[in-house]
Amino acid sequence: SQTIHQWPATLVQPVGSPLSLECTVEGTSNPNLYWYRQAAGRGLQLLFYSVGIGQISSEVPQNLSASRPQDRQFILSSKKLLLSDSGFYLCAWSARDNQPQHFGDGTRLSIL
Amino acid sequence: AQSVTQPDIHITVSEGASLELRCNYSYGATPYLFWYVQSPGQGLQLLLKYFSGDTLVQGIKGFEAEFKRSQSSFNLRKPSVHWSDAAEYFCAVGPLSGYSTLTFGKGTMLLVSP
């Protein structure tokens, strides 16, 4: 069966520090991969999605970037974190377009 | 552009009572519809999906949803709510064919009173 792993579960970072969140999927090949940010009362905001290695689409211009160095690995990064980057970050995968997305357990990011 | 509206931000239901969570969508083609549930501090879990066939779909944990094309709705129901159902629920829509990402509603928080 397929599984998705996200880490770390929680992270506290100072303003201006770099960020790297990692997501990996097991048990499937060539998945679509997604990064979302969730803020209270605002639902899920799609940040990036990827349909293959090295292929990244950005939905919202911002302080973050994403990379897909391997088929089942998706990384969310920032060179310098802002206070506004605080939130709950979720990674998801789907078998192909428009199939159900399956989510990781999320990373709670707090910026001090 | 596609959109999803969940008109209720919070709903409180007594344990054992029935539940209906509303979802309305705006989409220019035949939609692919989903309901997800999220417990505090956790990821989203898929409850059910609809893309064709019987407009009443069954999901996990005793949930069901009914697709009504004329009303552009996909409401989630459960006949008897359990305390463990307290969570946030998200409706999502995507195209049935062609490439696009899903659009999520802003969620409905379900509180269950004893």
Q: Is pLDDT larger for residue B107 or for residue B95? A: B107
Sequence spans of domains, chain A: 3-111
Has residue B99 got a pLDDT over 80?
A: no
Q: What is the pLDDT of residues B16-71, one digit of tens each?
A: 999 999 999 998 777 889 999 999 889 999 999 998 888 999 999 999 999 999 99
pLDDT digits (tens, 9 = 90+) for A59-69: 876 789 999 99
What residues of A are in contact with residue B39 (Cβ under 8 Å)? Answer: none
**Burial (0-12, 13-18, 19+ Cβ within 10 Å), A83:** exposed
CATH number at residue B104: 2.60.40.10
pLDDT band at B76 (very low <50, low <70, confident <90, very high): very high
Span A76-90, average pLDDT? 94
Q: Which amino acid is at B87?
A: A
Amino acid at A94: S
- Domain containing B11: what range? 3-113
Beta carbons of B45 and A104 less than 8 Å apart? no
A26 touches chain B (CB under 8 A): no
**Structure tokens given for A75:** 């990384």
Query: Chain-wide mean pLDDT for chain A?
Result: 92
User: What is the sign of the dihedral through the CA atoms of B49, B53, B56 and B60?
Assistant: negative
Judge: A105–B94 Cβ closer than 8 Å, yes or no: no
Query: What pLDDT, on the 0 to 100 scale, is given for residue A31?
Result: 93
Residue A40 touches partner B, C-beta closer than 8 Å: no
Question: How many domains does chain B divide into?
Answer: 1
- Whether A96 has its CB under 8 Å from any CB of chain B: the answer is no
- Contacts of residue B45 in chain A, CB cutoff 8 Å? 103
Which helix (H) or strand (E) element contains residue B88?
A: strand B87-95
Q: Is the dihedral of CA A104, B62, A40, A50 positive or negative?
A: positive
The Cβ of residue A80 has, within 10 Å, a number of other Cβ atoms equal to: 11
| B97 in contact with A, Cβ within 8 Å | yes
CATH 2.60.40.10 fits A3-111, yes or no: yes
